[in-house]
Amino acid sequence: MKTVGQRLREAREVAGYRSAREAADAIGIAYPTYAAHENDSRGLRRDSAEVYARRFKVSIDWLLTGKGNRSNSNVVQVVGIVGAGQYIEAIFNGVDTVEAPPETDETTVAVIVRGDSMLPFLEDGSVIYYSKQLPPGEMVNRRCVVQLTDGRAMVKTLRVGSKPGRWILTSLNAGDLVDVEIEWAAKIDWIKPK
């Protein structure tokens, strides 16, 4: 039977982290601590195991004991906060999770809404789920999550700007952001109201 460290390494690799250092940086813990857990030189407490299980989308029981299924498909990772009227710096490295909506896959992630510019469609504290980051041109005239080149993340309706590469972000009850540059846009797959 595999050790806790071997299961942790397997979970990390399946989650797409090529190295223990990459995983430790993404989770926000010291590399020596994570590496000691993965190489079994340091015991793994339940609170730390819960953080790893959420991040790697595995069952806590499987991680600690090897029993049951590895997969924990009932949760989705919260990868950040998006602004709906508030100035929000993108935070795309969180480790929290929320309940998964129906018909999600391993690419589905969630963001939390802050602000009220999209009322009544979205209220502060709503959870938005998305699964694909797309070029902005594929999301014209649709409500979507956007990452601006200046680091802000928002939920808005995307419109064509005055020149190529520029976009207008429209709110339901606030002024437009005109001719902004966007890194990517994501179709909203599911919304969990506050």
Structure confidence at residue 189 as a pLDDT band (50, 70, 90): very high
Write out the E strands in the chain. 75-83, 97-99, 109-114, 127-130, 133-134, 143-148, 153-160, 167-170, 177-180, 182-187, 190-192
The helix (H) or strand (E) run that includes residue 24 is: helix 20-27
Distance CA 119, CA 157 (A): 13
CATH tag for 4-65 (out of 1.10.260.40, 1.20.1260.10, 1.10.150.250, 3.30.43.10): 1.10.260.40
Q: Which residue has the higher pLDDT, 96 or 154?
A: 154
Structure confidence at residue 165 as a pLDDT band (50, 70, 90): very high
In CATH terms, the fold of domain 75-192 is: Umud Fragment, subunit A (2.10.109)
Please check whether residue 193 is in contact with residue 157, taking contact to mean a CB–CB distance below 8 angstroms: no
> What does the pLDDT look like over 46-100, one tens digit per residue?
889 988 988 888 888 889 988 765 665 577 778 888 887 655 555 555 557 788 7
Two structure tokens written together for 127:
């959870």
Two structure tokens written together for 57:
């989308």
Q: Is the pTM of this model over 0.85?
A: no
Two structure tokens written together for 149:
């080149």
Segments making up each domain of the chain, as ranges: 4-65, 75-192
For 48-57, 79-88, 112-121, 176-185, which range has the lowest pLDDT when averaged over its residues? Answer: 79-88
For residue 92, the model assigns a pLDDT of 56
